[in-house]
Amino acid sequence: MAILPIDSGRYGTKEMLDIFSEQKKVNYQLEIEGTAAISQSEIGIIPKTAGKIIHNAAMSGKITVKRIKELEAKSDHDTAALVESLSEKCAKNARPWIHYGLTSNDLVDTSNSMQMRDALKIIEPKVAKMALLLAKRAVQHGKIPAVGRTHGQHASIISFGLKFANWAAEMAKHVERIEEIKKRILICKTLGVVGTGSLMGAKSLEVQKRVAKRLNLFPADVTTQIVPRERYAEYVFELALIGATLEKIAVEIRNLQRTEIGEVAEQFKKGQMGSSAVPVKRNPTKSERVSSLSKILRSQIAITFENIPLWHERDLSNSANERFVLPTAAILVDEMLETMIKVISSLMVNEKRIVDNLYITKGQIFAEFVLEALIKKGVPRFIAYRDVQRVAFEAKDKEIQYIDAIKNDKAFSTKLTKKEIDSIFSPEKHLGASPLIISNVNKLVQETVKKFI
């Protein structure tokens, strides 16, 4: 019976969930056992025939979670049960060499790295896809003047596409970050009980190097009995950082979908119900889901930092919680990426509402450019600032258009012609460097994610 939503498949793709299934975890650890045996046999640590037998048995697919659990019920040790189940599938002459020179965490930590490796193979292309989708939207909406808001208030005019360009650039940076952290987090460790390679001696480093290469991992430089948990903290932090960016996008979509703003909306498919009680509602539920899951994802960071300072060469105070944290982080960010890809792909943009919102303040959004015009006419900044503010507040109180208030005030009419004032109140003239910024971001994204295209 499923207890958590990720157990029932509500969140996370089948592809991602499979990485963290019980049998898959066993298969990863068996692959480590088989690869270590082959590597040891190649350099004379164990007999060649034993290495081949162990490897073949480990990779046979005949060792099941069910059998391991039966053995674990007696030994109360999951790794010992796995080694015993492997032994059952090997000839007697090979059995003494199974798990030779290894310790439990060689399997646990290296299999964690294999899970992270495969999780990133799923996550990274989706991050790249998000970057491309956002860059495309940035270009598509780049010439639309829109309200730029600070503190929840109308501030000045932006290109609507600039919102998407900001997000696209950050998703491209996440691709860079993923690439950069791989060499630090995808660590292979086969150095035994306290990280000295004691039974294999100096050859232990060569074994580890060979195992790492076969598993597409990086050999550890130095460990205790475990891989330093700074590596896991960095991995979870990066996944949470991706989640935070996705939440940033989701929050903006939720705000822009407010009835009072109405500039965007999540696609509402035929037959969908927004509310069980109010038939007319179209709620941004997908973006809200991303915001909700992001909170759980971020909470995992603190746990990984708590796991860094362990006793001496190790203790078990990290072990139980990592069984939750590592799968949870990957599954949640996978779900969030899947969700936001769908949202951005089908996002409805109401261009008319975007333009209409520019004039909600009756033209006061152009105040920055009125101020600039006065300064260029030689009016000291703070005198100009006070006049712009004074007339704006008066116009608001009287509920009149800001442009009319300016034309009828001597502080402006004596400095600016009506033609110059009219020119100021043309929104398309105030996009600044937005077209160039969007173009540059599009190029950055294309270059960063080209291997995924």
Q: Is the pLDDT of residue 278 over 80?
A: no
- Beta strands 187-188 and 218-219: pairing type? parallel
Q: Is the pLDDT of residue 212 over 90?
A: yes
Percentage with pLDDT > 70 across the chain: 97
Q: Is the pLDDT of residue 277 over 70?
A: no
The pLDDT of 42-56, averaged and rounded, is: 97
- Residue 116 CA to residue 118 CA, distance in Å, equals 5
Do the beta carbons of residue 373 and residue 403 sit within 8 Å? no
Residues paired with residue 154 on neighbouring β-strands, in sequence order: 149
Q: Is the pLDDT of residue 328 over 80?
A: yes
Q: What angle do CA 251, 235, 208 make, to 5 degrees?
A: 165
The pLDDT of 352-362, averaged and rounded, is: 96
Residues shown for the chain: 453
Q: How confident is the model at residue 1 (pLDDT cuts 50, 70, 90)?
A: confident
The pLDDT of 248-256, averaged and rounded, is: 97
Q: Which residues are catalytic?
A: 151, 275
Q: Tens digits of per-residue pLDDT, 377-421?
A: 999 999 999 999 999 999 999 999 999 999 999 999 899 999 999
Q: How confident is the model at residue 134 (pLDDT cuts 50, 70, 90)?
A: very high
Within its chain, how far is the Cα of 250 from the centroid? 13
pLDDT at 8: 81
pLDDT at 357: 97
Structure tokens that stand for 304 in this block: 């990984």
pLDDT at 228: 96
Mean pLDDT rounded to a whole number for the chain: 95
The pLDDT of 28-43, averaged and rounded, is: 98
pLDDT at 299: 97
Do the beta carbons of residue 204 and residue 192 sit within 8 Å? yes
Q: Is the pLDDT of residue 280 over 80?
A: no
Residues paired with residue 157 on neighbouring β-strands, in sequence order: 147
Q: Is the pLDDT of residue 272 over 70?
A: no
In order of their start, the domains of the chain are: 17-97 (1.10.275.10), 104-357 (1.20.200.10), 364-424 (1.10.40.30)
The pLDDT of 170-198, averaged and rounded, is: 97
Whether the predicted model's global pTM rises above the 0.75 cut? yes
